[in-house]
Amino acid sequence: MLKQLLFLGARRFVSGHTIEEAVVAVSRLNAEGISATLDVLGENVTDRRAAEDAVRAYLETLDWIRQERLDSGVSLKLTQMGLDIDRDYCRENMVRICERAAAGGSFVRIDMEGSAYTERTLNLFYELFQKHRNVGVVIQAYLHRSPQDVRRLVELGARVRLCKGAYKEPPSMVVQSMSEVRQNFISLATILLSQGNQPAIATHDDALVSWTQGYTAEQRISKDRFEFQMLYGVRSHTQRQLAAQGNRVRVYVPFGTRWLPYFYRRMRERKENVAFVVKNAFRK
C-alpha cells in the first residue's frame, strides 16, 4: 500500500512502468518540438542476471526508438550494466548497447553516479569513446575535480551533459554552498559552450537558464550548437517556452519498476517537489 502511494507521487517524474508508456510520453514531447532521452531505471546491480535484464531492456528501448521514429536517445548507469560485478563484463554490455544504438542512429549517454564511481565511469567512457563516438557522459558541477575532467573531455571532442549534481557526497569532495555550485556550473558551462561539442546544459535553475541565454547571445553562439536538458515532470512550462523560442530542448524520460531511488533523489533536490507530492497524494 505504501509503495502504491509513493508511486502516485513518483508518477510526476516517472513516465510509467513499461516502454509502451514511455513511448507515449516521448511522442507527446516530440509533438511539442522537444527531444528526449529514455532511461530504464535501475542501478547498483550485483548479479549478472539483473545486468542482462537491463541490457535487454535497453536493446528493446533502442528498437522502439527506431521503429517509432522517436527523437530520442538513451541514458544509463554503468552500475546497472554490471560495473560492480566485473569491469570487462560491463564494457562488453556497453559495446552491445552502443552498437545497437549506432545501427539506429541513436545516442547513448552514460549517467554519472556518486563520487565513488566518478573515476571508474570516466575511464570506461574514455575506452568506449575510442571506437564508439555515439556515446557521451555527464559531469557534475559540484565536484572539485570537474574542471580538469571538463578540459580533458573538451580536448577529446566528447559530448558532455553538465548538471549540478544530485548525490549526497562527503564535504571534502564537493563545494558546499549553492552560490559556489552555481559559480562552478557557470565556469564549466563557459568552457563547454565556447569550446565543447554539442554540450547539454542540464538545469532547472532560472538563474542558470538566463545566464546561458545571455552568454550564448553575447558570444553569438548559435542555438543549434548546444541544448537545454531538463527532467520529465519538472518545469514543463519552461521546457515548452524554451523550445518555442527556438532553443534545442531535451527531456530525460525515465521508466521502469526500479523507480524508488530516482524518486528519492528528486525529493531531496527541491522542497517544491515534496510539496507537490504531498498536495497531490490523495487527490482523485
Nearest 5°: phi and psi at 187?
-60, -45
Which residues, listed in sequence order, are joined to residue 160 by a DSSP beta bridge? 137
Q: Is 88 a catalytic residue?
A: no
Q: Which three cell numbers stand for residue 87?
A: 569491469
Contact 96, 135 (CB under 8 A): no
Q: Is 161 a catalytic residue?
A: yes
Q: Which position among 111, 235, 250, 266 bears the catalytic label?
A: 111
Which residues, listed in sequence order, are joined to residue 138 by a DSSP beta bridge? 161
Q: Which amino acid is at 29?
A: L
Residues 202-206: contacts with CB within 8 Å, 24+ apart? 202/138, 202/161, 202/162, 202/163, 202/228, 202/229, 202/230, 202/252, 203/163, 203/164, 203/228, 203/230, 204/230, 204/231, 204/234, 204/235, 204/238, 205/164
Label residue 174 exposed, middle or buried (CB < 10 Å: 0-12, 13-18, 19+). buried
Whole-angstrom distance, CA of residue 75 vs CA of residue 54:
12
The closest of 284, 109, 268 to 202, measured between CA atoms, is 109
Q: Which position among 161, 182, 248, 266 bears the catalytic label?
A: 161
Q: What residues are labeled active site?
A: 111, 161
